[in-house]
Copies of this chain bind each other. A is one copy, B any other.
Amino acid sequence: MNKAREFDQTVVTELQALLGDRVTTSTGIREHHGKDESYFPVAPPDAVVFPHSTEEVRDVVNICRRHGVPMIPYGVGTSLEGHTLAVNGGVTIDLSQMNKVLAVHEQDLDAVVQAGVTRKALNEHIRHTGLFFPVDPGADATLGGMAATRASGTNAVRYGTMRENVLALTVVLADGRIIKTASRAKKSAAGYDLTRLFVGSEGTLGIITEVTVKLYAVQEAMSAAVCAFDTIDGCTQTVIQVIQAGIPIARSEIVCEQSIAAINKYSKTDYRVAPTLFFEFHGTAASVVEQAEMVQEIAKENGGKDFIWATKPEERTKLWEARHHAYFACLQIRPGSRSVSTDVCVPISRLAECVAESLGDVKDDVAPVPLLGHVGDGNFHLMFLVDPNNPAELEQAKAFNKRLVKRAIAMEGTCTGEHGIGLGKQGSLVEEHGEAVDLMRDIKKLFDPENLMNPGKLIPAADA
């Protein structure tokens, strides 16, 4: 309590001198910034600031550091792992007003944006260029946030994740230095890969203020298809064989029977209620037809039924909106519930086995447990629909998630394919990386000796 009062008098005054009315301590705004899409209890910061430039972020960092106040970078709050919660109080640095596209280099296929630009805003901005930015985590997240969590999504199987699609970052370090991690060259062998050290660092090493991303040519033809199967196994086998055949599918998403039913209800679609794959093909008109034919052939051998095609842009949009709304659709399976989302990723050869064992494990759960997945990457999500007022359900979901993580790691997989560590997976990080976590902890100490940059996230406490 005292801390909060002291905080008001000094830090906020200094921040206001810097940013004027772009500093707030209003309860509503603090509460809003103290939660995300995860199941964690609200943890509001003491103040929220809205900088407009890298230099303003630096000045905020310098004020906070002088006062020993935690700093939490914030985009639009779509984290599923509690990344933006102010668990130690402090100042949330909301970057959403840093929303300028600074440069689009059409010939070089890259763009430089402020961290608060969302992926949809960028794609809207470059619509006339014939280029697009592919990484697509479903939510319309900011590019700074996506870089910070190493986000991916539905078309990583073809275009990669933020790991592959960030060329360079501008970062404000804990000591107020501003660094540029790389040039705009497509590749470089010049020194340690600082770019990739910050990609996925979840705000714990510094605050990302600008992002240079790769762009891609919009292909002549982009067509999508939905195909139902008898079994989940039929879906996974199909995708394994497609990838092994070298067919460059742009998307391959698995959706379970329950999710399809929920999608139909939520998005007013009428897909067959069965384990289903959503595909997308990018290329020339001829090559898309060729890819689709080959995939259809493979699907048929694995029990695939009719292909429902979406070749016109508006049909494709509708199909992928249905897929992207699956999360919200599934929440409606149990109205009033919150979701605990799992996120393991395993080598694709183990995917069918991992999914089957996991579905066996949850078959008697209190509510249905929908499955959604980026099957081409071996990454899938189970959604535990828990009653937020029933702690026992939350504990049950967490216990399941621990068993799932153990299973995935035993299969040479990872505890998180794309959601990150945040608050909830620090134990899993140790389980997965063992002694290497000590190295991560040392890096954290090197970059942030006073533990002020998004403290409590990613790095487990030394005695954990």
- Interface positions of A (Cβ within 8 A of B): 105-110, 130, 149-152, 156, 160-161, 163-164, 173, 177, 179-194, 196-197, 199-201, 205, 216-220, 240, 243-246, 248, 283-284, 286-287, 290, 343, 345-349, 377-379, 409, 412-421, 425, 428-429, 432-437, 439-440, 442-443, 446-447, 458
The answer, among B182, B248, B290, for a CB contact under 8 Å with A248, is: B248
Complex Cα spacing A347 to B212, Å = 12
Complex Cα spacing A412 to B102, Å = 15
- For A377, the chain B residues whose CB sits under 8 A away are 185-187
- For A197, the chain B residues whose CB sits under 8 A away are 192-193, 196-197
Closest to A443 in B: B192
Closest to A177 in B: B435
A192 touches B201 (CB 8 A): yes
The answer, among B200, B284, B349, B412, for a CB contact under 8 Å with A193, is: B200
B414 touches A183 (CB 8 A): yes
B191 touches A378 (CB 8 A): no
- For A290, the chain B residues whose CB sits under 8 A away are 284, 286-287
The answer, among B180, B189, B428, B443, for a CB contact under 8 Å with A421, is: B189
Complex Cα spacing A345 to B189, Å = 10
Given A246-B219, A436-B179, A443-B443, decide whether A412 and B192 contact each other with a Cβ distance below 8 A.
no
A409 touches B183 (CB 8 A): yes
- For A283, the chain B residues whose CB sits under 8 A away are 287
Complex Cα spacing A432 to B156, Å = 30
Closest to A206 in B: B439
Could you list some 16 contacts between A and B, CB below 8 A? A108-B349, A109-B243, A150-B188, A177-B435, A180-B436, A184-B412, A185-B346, A186-B379, A187-B379, A192-B200, A217-B246, A220-B246, A286-B286, A287-B287, A439-B447, A443-B443
- For A244, the chain B residues whose CB sits under 8 A away are 106-107, 109, 130, 217
The answer, among B179, B190, B413, for a CB contact under 8 Å with A439, is: B179
Taken together, the copies of this chain in the complex come to: 2
- For A243, the chain B residues whose CB sits under 8 A away are 109, 217
- For A106, the chain B residues whose CB sits under 8 A away are 244
Complex Cα spacing A181 to B435, Å = 10
Complex Cα spacing A160 to B214, Å = 13
Given A109-B243, A287-B283, A414-B185, decide whether A190 and B428 contact each other with a Cβ distance below 8 A.
yes
Given A152-B187, A189-B150, A428-B190, decide whether A105 and B349 contact each other with a Cβ distance below 8 A.
yes
A246 touches B287 (CB 8 A): no
Complex Cα spacing A287 to B433, Å = 42
Complex Cα spacing A286 to B160, Å = 26
Closest to A110 in B: B347
The answer, among B105, B149, B216, for a CB contact under 8 Å with A347, is: B105
Complex Cα spacing A192 to B429, Å = 10
Given A183-B432, A217-B246, A287-B286, decide whether A189 and B416 contact each other with a Cβ distance below 8 A.
yes
Which 9 pairs from chain A and chain B are nearest by CB? A217-B246, A196-B196, A107-B349, A188-B414, A108-B347, A185-B414, A185-B345, A184-B412, A287-B287
- Closest chain-B Cβ to A293's Cβ sits at a distance in Å of 10
Complex Cα spacing A418 to B192, Å = 13
- Closest chain-B Cβ to A165's Cβ sits at a distance in Å of 10
- Closest chain-B Cβ to A106's Cβ sits at a distance in Å of 7
Closest to A131 in B: B244
